[in-house]
Structure 1
Amino acid sequence: MQNEKITKREIASIRKVKLQKHSSIHAAGPVIEPGNWEKYDPFLLMMEDKFQKGAFDIHPHRGIETVTYVIEGAIEHYDSHSGEGGVLGPGDVQWMTAGSGVVHNEVPSEGITAHSLQLWINLPREKKMTAPRYQNLKGSEVPVRVEEGAVFKVFSGSSRGVVSPTLNYVPVTMVEVRMEKGAAASQELPGSYKGFIYIIEGSGVFGENEVQGANGQVLELGDGGNAESEIAVKAEEPLRFLLYAGEPVKEQVVARGPFVMNTEEEIRTAYKEYRDGTFLK
């Protein structure tokens, strides 16, 4: 009887991510386009990047979390909060809480082209100015859920009782899923969560409305109802995808450049403090 209350999610939309060449060392395309705050809440944007050393300079952030997933290559990162750094390899994630402000950079290792996905998560008003925090999540170390023909790496949230220790200010489920050809599996989600799937490799059938998706496409999850929900997937060939879903923040969004706050005044303050050298708290 309990299963009757579970909403079988459909796929609401599907789109091919197109990368544009910005320079000889950088190509990028939006997985989630900025500006659709309510549609994707709590997610603000996601960019897919292929880049080499020198593509990005040191830059600030405030009022958000960034979640960087490395598809290929290696990315060296520097943290203004601790003064430390490290290297992210394929399948690794950095979960950075900018909060009150960080100045950082992500640089591919020398001679390497990195291929990554970076998601921006909105922070609620009371956490906009929280202390910065870095969580470096090695793909080889995160909790794993294993089903017949399917492996779920749980970077955040939970998957059928397998719980990630990743700390969240906004509840977010992030799983990397690898499936063998012909395998079928599902991921449960609170009905209130909004989310999407990005396909890294292969193809499959997604959702109750059985939408076909293939590598390089982003699939928006349909409404999850008022209670629990799940999204079903069947692999048509060896399949690898990421699923992101989170609890909407439902607050005013004012975004400019690397800062996302609730008011124009807060944005002006962030720029002024960055110029004046008082940005880092």
Structure 2
Amino acid sequence: MSLPLMQRAVAHVESPQFGRGLADTHRVRPLISAGDWAATDPFLLLMEDRYGPNVFSPHPHRGIETLTYLISGELEHYDNHGAQAVLTPGDAALLTAGRGIVHDERPVNGHEAHILQLWINLPRANKMSTARLQPLRWSELPLIRGNGYEVRLYSGAVGEVVSPTLNFTPFTFVDIRLEPGATFEHPLAADVNCFLVPLTGAVDAGAITSHIAAGQIAWLEHMTERSSVRITAHETGARLILAAGKPLREPVAARGPFVMNSAVELDLAYADFRAQQQRFGIDTPSNTTLQKGATV
């Protein structure tokens, strides 16, 4: 009979505020800000965005993956590799920028989109991989049900349930729905960084009970052995995101939309983008151009 897993405690809770983004129709809340790379490794950024049309324009990335999780509205992705997807609430898209991509994500029909976007660092060996898009449909995701909870698995694993999502950097991302007073215990692999983001309601979590409410982000303590975190909803129930990933422990050099391992590699990324523009990241002759509604 296996022994119970050690319970992780909550290391700290932050309460970032919304501020003006790129336009009056864009509000942004930095849940994970850039710069403290060792503390958040392999995660680089987590932004909560509310935005309307004509806020973002086509822009490049290299050296990262982005997970865009749609809370409300509709969102269309299209890129210069020809991938296109429309996301509805609960859907997500995992974009591997690899050696280069130019993409845009814009609200459909002029309505506001409410999203979380998580930037995940790519290992040095995979930073120049081929770009790809993986739409993750709410209705098709693995679902774990228990006493008062439902868990949708976007990436990684929950116990014996493993997501089919392809990862260069192993990470878990789950949507947890809890009825009032319900408890869910999530197992955590050894040596992973883990955070919780309540979207609605409030929960108690951790070995030493910590209160976490919508609008906050909670980081768990780091443990080198297998562990778990127990989460219990308050009287109104709760919906939250849990993410966990194993640190890469590699040098991080970041500038704008590019994340590499050195300043020299960043300079090369900018030089490549200036030279290639719409063909950034495309190595073979193609008629593909960045346009809304391109086919997969």
Per-residue CA shift, 1:209-262, capped at 9, x if unaligned? 1100111110111122x3211010001121000001001000000000000000
Structure 2 equivalent of residue 176 of structure 1: 175
Deviation, 1:65, is 0.2
| Aligned residue type for 1:233 | I
Unaligned runs of 5+ in 1: none
Per-residue CA shift, 1:186-205, capped at 9, x if unaligned? 11111201011111001110
Superposed, 1:45-194 pairs within 5 Å as 45-81=45-81, 83-194=82-193
Q: TM-score, normalised by structure 1?
A: 0.96
Q: Is the 8 A contact 1:80 1:103 kept in 2?
A: yes
Structure 2 equivalent of residue 227 of structure 1: 225
Structure 1 equivalent of residue 30 of structure 2: 30
Structure 2 equivalent of residue 279 of structure 1: 280
Q: Is the 8 A contact 1:92 1:138 kept in 2?
A: yes
| Aligned residue type for 1:270 | A
Question: Using the alignment, how far apart are the partners of 2:225 and 2:202 within structure 1?
Answer: 29
| Aligned residue type for 1:21 | R
Question: Using the alignment, how far apart are the partners of 1:239 and 1:45 within structure 2?
Answer: 24
- SS of residue in 1 equivalent to 2:60: strand
Structure 2 equivalent of residue 268 of structure 1: 267
- SS of residue in 1 equivalent to 2:109: coil
Per-residue CA shift, 1:258-280, capped at 9, x if unaligned? 00000111100110111111632
Structure 2 equivalent of residue 41 of structure 1: 41
Question: Using the alignment, how far apart are the partners of 1:246 and 1:86 within structure 2?
Answer: 26
Q: Is the 8 A contact 1:7 1:191 kept in 2?
A: no
Question: Using the alignment, how far apart are the partners of 1:45 and 1:16 within structure 2?
Answer: 15
Runs of 4+ in 1 over 6 A off after TM superposition: none
| Aligned residue type for 1:160 | G
Structure 1 equivalent of residue 292 of structure 2: none
Deviation, 1:87, is 0.7
Which stretch of the first structure deviates more once superposed, 251-260 or 211-220? Answer: 211-220
Percent identical across equivalent pairs?
Answer: 41
Unaligned runs of 5+ in 2: 283-296
Q: Is the 8 A contact 2:131 2:281 kept in 1?
A: no
Q: Is the 8 A contact 1:28 1:48 kept in 2?
A: yes
Question: Using the alignment, how far apart are the partners of 1:44 and 1:84 within structure 2?
Answer: 24
Deviation, 1:7, is 2.1
How many positions carry a matched residue from both structures?
278
Question: Using the alignment, how far apart are the partners of 1:233 and 1:195 within structure 2?
Answer: 13
Q: TM-score, normalised by structure 2?
A: 0.92
